[in-house]
Every structure is written in C-alpha cells, then in structure tokens.
Structure 1
Amino acid sequence: MKLQCDVDVVNRMLPTLGMKSRGKGARAVLSIGKQLDKTSQRSTVYMMICTAKDRAGSKYKLQDNIEKFFTSFVEKGKATVRLKEPAIDICLSKADANSLKNFLSAARLADRGSVMSSLLLSTLTPVRARDVEQPKKKLTIISKKDYPLTSSFPYSLEQLQVSYCKLSRVDMRMLTLKALRVLDLSNNHIKKLPATIGDLGCLSELILHNNHLEAFSEALCLSTLQRTLQLLDLSQNRLQSLPAQLCQLRELVNLKLDDNRLLCLPFHIGRLTKLRFLSVAHNRLAELPGDFRKLRLENLDLFGNPFIQTNPLNNTMQLTFPVPLQELASRAVADLRIPYGPHLIPAHLCQDLDGAKTCDCGCCCISFYIKTVVSMNLHKVSHTVVLVDDMGGTHAPVTQHFCSLSCYSVFLDNSLQRGIR
C-alpha cells in the first residue's frame, strides 16, 4: 500500500519547548508494510515515509499507536494522522482523494491489528529519486519525436503545449488531466474537437491556432467551460460559422478568430459581458450583428473583412399587417422576460425566442421586423481599434432591426437630421 503526496511531520512537543514547526510539506512516498521485529521475532506493521532528503525513509509503528485521524478535508486530498509514540502529527496534502481514502483505511486496520491478508502491503525499501520529485505542472512538446507514445502525461499537469506534432485529433490521454488550466494544441492538423474537452473542469485557456477545424461544437459551449474558459484561440482554421451557444461562454475575456472563413458572428455576441479582446481579422464578414453594440472592449481587430457599404434607406421588409398573434405573444414573452423552455412551449418557439431582436424603442421582435444596416464607429465599443481597411477607417456596418413602421420612420427622420445618407 503506497501513497504519493506532500507530507509535513509535526512534533507536538515543540510548542512546549518554545519552538515552531517549519510548516512546509515535502513530496514523499508513504508505504504501509510489515517488518520483522528481531527481538520478539514477530512481524509488525509500519508506516514508512520517504522523501528526497531521506530516501531510506523513517518508519513509524501503526498497531495500537494511532491516536486520531483528521479527515474533514479528505475529498480535497488532505488528512492528518496523529500518532501516540512518538508524539507527532503526520499531515498529508496534495494527494489523490481516492488513493488517500484507501491508504487511511489500511492504516486504520493496521492500528486495530486486523488481519492484513486482504491488503496489498508494500515492501519497506528505499525509493527511487524520481518517485519523490515534485509533481510536474508544465510540459511543452514542440517536436513529433518528443511526443510520448508509450508513457502517460503526468497527472499533475496544469499547462500542456503540444505543437508541430501533426496531430490529426486530440489525444484522449490529455482529457484525463483534471488539473489542466492551459491546453495549447496550436500548429497541428486537428479537424474535430471531442466534446469531452468540456470535462476539463479547470481549463481557462484553450489554444487551437493553426489547425484544420471546420466547426466548434455546441456541446463544448454548454459544458463546464461556461464557468472556466477565459481565452479561446481559434485563429487560422477553416471555420465558416460559430454556434449561437458560443455566447454561453460568459467568462471569456480574449477571443481570437483571425484567418478563418467566417461569414457572420453569433447573433447574441453582446452577452459576452467580460470580453475585452476580440480579433476577427481576415474573415468574410459583410456586417456585424446588432448585439455587437453591447460589447465593451479594450482592443478590437476587424481588419481585412469585405464589409458592405451602408445605406439606411436600403432595408429588408419582413413585416405583415396585422402582426400575427403568435408574433405578438412571443414579443410579450421576450419583453416581460417570462421564463420559457421546451418543457413549457414547443422547441421551435424556444429557438425563435432565443433569436429575439431588440428595436431602438427597446421592444423585441421575433420573426416580423424591418432590417437595415447602419455604420457604427467602432470606438463606441472598444478603446483601441485596429483600422478596418487600408484607408484608415474605424467604421463598420451593423445590422439594426425595427419592430414597426413607426420605429423605422423615427430612425429615418433622425438619420436625415444628422446628415446621414
């Protein structure tokens, strides 16, 4: 029975001598095993602690020698074993929770003197130097010859970069690294992302620059990444569209979409309230969604997109008279923010409501509206703006919807007064 974790052995007699423990754990391997007592010729169960400084290990008797277990934080990989003789507390931390539970159960049985035949006891021998090394937190692989084919990735990794290895898919071994915060798979040949990336509960940065991606799945947008992902780099791929659910990644601060084939941005992109850096240069955007005006950015780059020329008099009339009852009911649900879902109304109505547009008057419209495109100064949404074109422009076309003819008429009157043609 072995356990790898950080260990701090605290002598309870130190305070009576006016001394303090150093209070800092060291990486160690703990073993529970039998050793023959030469005096009594009987086997006794010991706990042995081996560290980098003491690879031979220190042994502590367990039978009838454990005063108390402290296990309030065992789910977080922490516990303390208090021994009677010597008067020490063995403080364990940074352990795998399940392994720690098994180890403490074995220690409890040893203390009671229970039959140990059912337990796999370890040989109490010195450990190798690599067994007591600090867990590796960062790994960078930038050559195919260095890519591990037979060995696993260290379970403790927090940052992993695998670039220039010609990966055509995401290695499933990476998706078992539960402590991973940064995953950089740039400069490979990845075509599709597994939905299980969303199971990486600590992931804050996902870098997929220069791959062959053709889609970013809805499942990823609805996973735990909603609560953790702050940087998403999808630049230099083959994306033509992004799912509307991308706007569910509410923690995003930095979004990079350069050098793709995007024809439009998600309709509700304004819901990314924490977004501060947005780069969508060299795509195929003709216009920006109306929700774009809600963004509050520090840096914005839209260079190299074929934006259309705007004219408020050019419009798409998708309005009938009278307005259908279903449209009026849907507008009421959206305006009053009445909760809805597929358990209450048909799924296709939910999709319509998810795509509700906001008129200048503040009211919503669903399927019946007047649409036009207006020019917006991008400095209204971003402190720093990369020029939109070689002519030095910082304006871009933004769609605008109106719920009625009267709202559209007011808009035209205001536009004419401001001298907009």
Structure 2
Amino acid sequence: MKLQCDVEVVSRMLPSFGLKSRGRGTRAVLSIGKHPDKTSPRCHIYLVICTSKDRAGAKYKLKDNIEKFFTWFVDEGKATVRLKEPAVDICLSKADSNSLKSFLSAARLASRGDESSSLPLSTLTPVRSRDVEQPKRKLSIVSKKDYPLTSSFPSSLEQLQVSYCKLSRVDMRMLSLKALRRLDLSNNHIRRLPATIGDLGCLSELVLHNNHLEAFSEALCLSTLQQTLQLLDVSQNRLRRLPPRFSQLRHLVHLKLDDNALVCLPFHIGRLSRLRLLSAAHNQLTALPADFRRLSLENLDLFGNPFVQPGPLDHTLRLSFPLTLQETASRAVASLRIPYGPHLLPAQLCQDLDLAKTCDCGGVCLGSYVQTAVSMNLHQVSHTVVLVDDMGGTHAPVLQYFCSLSCYSLFLDQDLQRGGR
C-alpha cells in the first residue's frame, strides 16, 4: 500500500524542550509492508516514509503501536497518525482523499496485527527521485523544440504556457489538466477551440493572443466557464462576431478583443456586470450595442474603429403593420420572462428571443422595430477612456431601438427639445 502526499513527522517531546515544529510538510511516499527483523525470524509490518533526502525511508513499526488516528479533515486530504513509540505524530496533507482513506484503513488493520491476504502490502524498496518531487504547478514552453511529443503534461499543473510552437489546434492532453487555472496558448496558429475546454472546471484565465481564430464557440459560453473564467484574451485573431450568448460568461473581469475584424460587440454585453477592463481597439465597429450603457468599467479602449457619428434623423425602419402573430407572441414571451428553450421552440426563434431589443418605453421588440444611433460620451461607462480617434474624441455611437413609431416620435421630440436649450 502506497500513498503520495506531504508529510511532517512531529515529535511530541518538542514542547518539553521549548521547541516548536516548523509546520511545513515534505513531499513523500508512504508505504506499508513487511520487513525482516534481525532479532526475530518473523517479519514485522512497518510504515515507511521516503523523501527526496531519504529515499530508503524511515521505518515505523505498526503492530500495537498506533495510539490514535485524527481524521476530522480526511475529506480534504489531511490526517494525523499518532504513534506510541517513538512518540511522534505523522501529519499527512495534500493527499487524494480516497487514497488516504484506504491507506488509513490498511494502517489500522496492521496496527491490530491483521496479516491476512486482504491487507494490501507493498515491497519496501527505495523510491525513485521523481516519486518524491514536489508537484509541478507551473510550466512554460516557448519553443517548438521544447514541446513534449511523447511525455504527458504533469497532472498537477495550475498554469501552462505554450507559445511560439506553431500549434494548429489545442492539444487534447492539455484538456485533462483538471487543476489548470491559467492556459496561455498565445502566438500559435490555432483556428478553432474545442468545446471540451469548457470541461476545465478551474480555468480562470484563457489567453489566445495572436492566433488564427475565426470563431468563438457558443458551447464555451454555456460550459463551466460561466462560473470560472475571469480573463479572456483573444486579441490579434480573425474574429468577426462573438456568439449571442457570450454574455453568459458573467464572471469576466478582463476582456481583450483588439486587432480582430469584429463588426459588432456582443448584443447583451451589459450583462457582464463584473467586467472592469474592456479593450476592443482596431476592429470594424461602426456602433456599439444598446446594452453597452449598462457597463461599469475602469478602463476602456476602442481606439481605431470606424465609428460613424449619427445624424439627427438617421434611422432604420423595420416595422410591420399590423404586428405579425409571431412578433406579438415573441414580445409577450420576452416581456413576461416566460422560460423558453430548444426543447420548446425552434432554434431560430430561441436565437431571436436571445436578441430581444428593449425600447425606451420599457417594451420589447424582436423583428419589428425602428433603429437609430445616439452619440454617447464613453466616460459614462468607464473611469478611464483611451481616445476613440486621433482627434481626441471620447464619444461613440450607441444603437437605440423603438418598438413603435409613437415611441420613436417621442424620442425625436425630446431630442429636439434638448437641442434647443
């Protein structure tokens, strides 16, 4: 029986000498097995603790020698075994909880003197140095010649950078790293992202700067990334649009979209309530979505976009008289917040409902509306604003929708009144 974990052996005699333990464990391999006794023909069962400094291991007899088990935090991979002789506490931490429970069960049986075949024993031999190394948390590969072709990535990785390796796709071996918090695949040739990136349940930072991405999958927006992703960098790619449900990534704090070919920002971008840094410079944006007004940012960069400053009567008229039955029903579903989904409605209709537009009157419209744009000072949504153009401007056009001609006419009258003051 073997167990890999951090171990600290604490003598209970230390306080009597006015000393304290260092309170820090060492990576070790624990084994339970038989070892011949020179003073007796019988083989006794020992607990052996092997570390990088002592690969042969320190041996502790188990039979009738365990005073107590402390297992309050065994589900967190922590436990303590108190021995009678010598008077030490063996403190275990950072262990797999299931393996730890099995190991403690075997130690309990050995302490009782059970030597039946059901007791899983190991061969007590010196361990390999790699077995007692500290788990690797961070790995950076910035050259193709250093990229592992046959060996796997350490399963303990929390940060992984693979850059300048000319990767054309995401290596599936990376997607098995369940502890991964930051994945940096910048400066490669990746064209698409597998939906299984969304299975990385701890991923909070995803950096894809300077690749060949042409789309960002909607499946990623509906994955566990909704709860974990805080930083997303897809700058210097080939993106033209982001999926309608991009706003489901509601834990985003930092979003970099620079140097793509984006013609619009996500329709419901205002739902990203935690977003504080947004950079979308050098794209093809001519106007911002209406929901943009709801953002509360610390830093905003929209420099180098071909924004078209709106004229007083510029508008797009897409009204139908009378409203179609589909439009009327869709407005009712959106206004009353009636649950819907592909199991209830056609997929296209679900997508239309996802992009429902809000009128100034508070009403909702889908396919029948009047669209115009108004100029907005970007300081209304951000503390710091990078100038929109070389002329020193901080204004940009924001789309606005109206569910009827009467609402649009009221807006024009109010706009004229403001202009006359």
Normalised by the size of structure 1, how large is the TM-score? 0.91
- Whole-Å separation in 1 of the counterparts to 2:271 and 2:387: 24
Match of 1:268 in 2: 268
Match of 1:375 in 2: 375
Please report how far the alpha carbon of residue 386 of structure 1 lies from its aligned counterpart in structure 2 after TM superposition: 1.5
Instruction: Structure 2 unaligned segments of length 5 or more: list them.
Output: none
Please report how far the alpha carbon of residue 15 of structure 1 lies from its aligned counterpart in structure 2 after TM superposition: 5.3
Please report how far the alpha carbon of residue 143 of structure 1 lies from its aligned counterpart in structure 2 after TM superposition: 1.0
Q: Deviations over 1:104-149 (max 9, x none)?
A: 3433443344456567643333445444332222111111111122
Quick check: 1:110–1:116 contact (8 Å CA) kept in 2? no
- Whole-Å separation in 2 of the counterparts to 1:362 and 1:138: 50
- Whole-Å separation in 2 of the counterparts to 1:222 and 1:346: 19
Match of 2:409 in 1: 409
AA in 1 matched with 2:215? A
- Segment of structure 1 superposing worse, 364-373 or 291-300: 364-373
Quick check: 1:177–1:200 contact (8 Å CA) kept in 2? yes
Match of 2:237 in 1: 237
- Whole-Å separation in 1 of the counterparts to 2:178 and 2:107: 27
Match of 1:161 in 2: 161
Please report how far the alpha carbon of residue 264 of structure 1 lies from its aligned counterpart in structure 2 after TM superposition: 1.4
Distance 1:116-1:259 versus aligned 2 partners, 3 A rule: farther
| Paired residue secondary structure (2:242) | coil
Please report how far the alpha carbon of residue 346 of structure 1 lies from its aligned counterpart in structure 2 after TM superposition: 5.2
Quick check: 2:144–2:164 contact (8 Å CA) kept in 1? yes
Quick check: 2:6–2:94 contact (8 Å CA) kept in 1? yes
Q: Aligned runs of 1:298-337 on 2, under 5 Å? A: 298-337=298-337
AA in 2 matched with 1:175? L
Please report how far the alpha carbon of residue 49 of structure 1 lies from its aligned counterpart in structure 2 after TM superposition: 1.0
Quick check: 2:245–2:354 contact (8 Å CA) kept in 1? no
- Whole-Å separation in 1 of the counterparts to 2:342 and 2:142: 47
| Paired residue secondary structure (1:406) | helix
- Whole-Å separation in 2 of the counterparts to 1:208 and 1:242: 15
Task: Establish whether residue 220 from structure 1 lines up as the match of residue 216 from structure 2.
Answer: no
Match of 1:396 in 2: 396
Please report how far the alpha carbon of residue 83 of structure 1 lies from its aligned counterpart in structure 2 after TM superposition: 3.1
Instruction: Structure 1 unaligned segments of length 5 or more: list them.
Output: none
Count, aligned residues = 420
Distance 1:223-1:67 versus aligned 2 partners, 3 A rule: farther
AA in 2 matched with 1:408? Y
Quick check: 1:312–1:372 contact (8 Å CA) kept in 2? no
AA in 1 matched with 2:134? Q
Quick check: 2:33–2:122 contact (8 Å CA) kept in 1? yes
Please report how far the alpha carbon of residue 54 of structure 1 lies from its aligned counterpart in structure 2 after TM superposition: 3.7
Please report how far the alpha carbon of residue 103 of structure 1 lies from its aligned counterpart in structure 2 after TM superposition: 2.9
Please report how far the alpha carbon of residue 225 of structure 1 lies from its aligned counterpart in structure 2 after TM superposition: 1.0
- Whole-Å separation in 2 of the counterparts to 1:68 and 1:245: 55
Distance 1:16-1:342 versus aligned 2 partners, 3 A rule: farther
Quick check: 1:49–1:58 contact (8 Å CA) kept in 2? yes
Q: Deviations over 1:286-337 (max 9, x none)?
A: 2211111111111111122222231241222222233344433433333333
AA in 2 matched with 1:46? Y
AA in 2 matched with 1:410? L
AA in 2 matched with 1:186? S
Distance 1:114-1:173 versus aligned 2 partners, 3 A rule: farther
Distance 1:331-1:312 versus aligned 2 partners, 3 A rule: farther
Match of 1:44 in 2: 44
Q: Aligned runs of 1:23-102 on 2, under 5 Å? A: 23-102=23-102
- Whole-Å separation in 2 of the counterparts to 1:226 and 1:401: 28
Output the aligned Cα RMSD.
2.4
Match of 2:135 in 1: 135
Please report how far the alpha carbon of residue 19 of structure 1 lies from its aligned counterpart in structure 2 after TM superposition: 5.2
Match of 1:206 in 2: 206
AA in 2 matched with 1:248? Q
| Paired residue secondary structure (2:327) | helix
Distance 1:402-1:69 versus aligned 2 partners, 3 A rule: same
AA in 1 matched with 2:232? L
